[in-house]
Amino acid sequence: GESVGLHLPTLSVQEGDNSIINCAYSNSASDYFIWYKQESGKGPQFIIDIRSNMDKRQGQRVTVLLNKTVKHLSLQIAATQPGDSAVYFCAENIRGYSTLTFGKGTMLLVSP
C-alpha cells in the first residue's frame, strides 16, 4: 500500500501489548478532540472523540485521555493487534467551527 508518511514518529509494539500514542495540541480554545486511524492507502477513519469537559472516555479497546492543563491528548489501545497497525492522528476543533486541525501523526507497528 501507499506510505502515508516516512517522517512520522513510530511506535513498535508486540501483539497483545497495550499501546499509548500521545499528541500535543496547539490551541487552548479547542474544546473537542478526535483520534483518527489511517491505514495504508486509505483515508482517515474516526476512532474515538472527547469533549473538553471530560478527561477520559472509553470505547472498545480504546481509551482517550485529555489533560487540558498541558494541552495533551493520549490514545490507549488495549491488547494491540496486527490490524491496529496504522498511522494515528489527533485532531482538534473549536466550538462553532466545523473545521479540524490535525496533528502530525504517529505510526503504530504491531508485530505478531
Partner 1 sequence: DSGVTQTPKHLITATGQRVTLRCSPRSGDLSVYWYQQSLDQGLQFLIQYYNGEERAKGNILERFSAQQFPDLHSELNLSSLELGDSALYFCASSVDLAGEYNEQFFGPGTRLTVL
- Tally Cβ neighbours within 10 Å of residue 41: 9
Phi, psi (degrees; rounded to nearest 5) at 56: -155, 140
If DSSP codes are grouped into helix, strand and coil, which group holds residue 25?
Answer: coil
Min. distance of Cβ 82 from partner 1 in angstroms? 21
Closest CA to 61 of 89, 83, 43, 32: 83
Min. distance of Cβ 17 from partner 1 in angstroms? 26
Cell of 106: 504517529
Q: Which is nearer to partner 1, 90 or 110 (CB)?
A: 90
Q: Which is nearer to partner 1, 55 or 97 (CB)?
A: 97
Q: Which is nearer to partner 1, 44 or 110 (CB)?
A: 44
Min. distance of Cβ 61 from partner 1 in angstroms? 20
Question: Which residues of the shown chain bind partner 1 in the complex (CB under 8 A)?
Answer: 2, 4-7, 32, 34, 41-46, 49, 89, 93, 95-105
Min. distance of Cβ 53 from partner 1 in angstroms? 14
Closest CA to 27 of 99, 77, 108, 105: 99
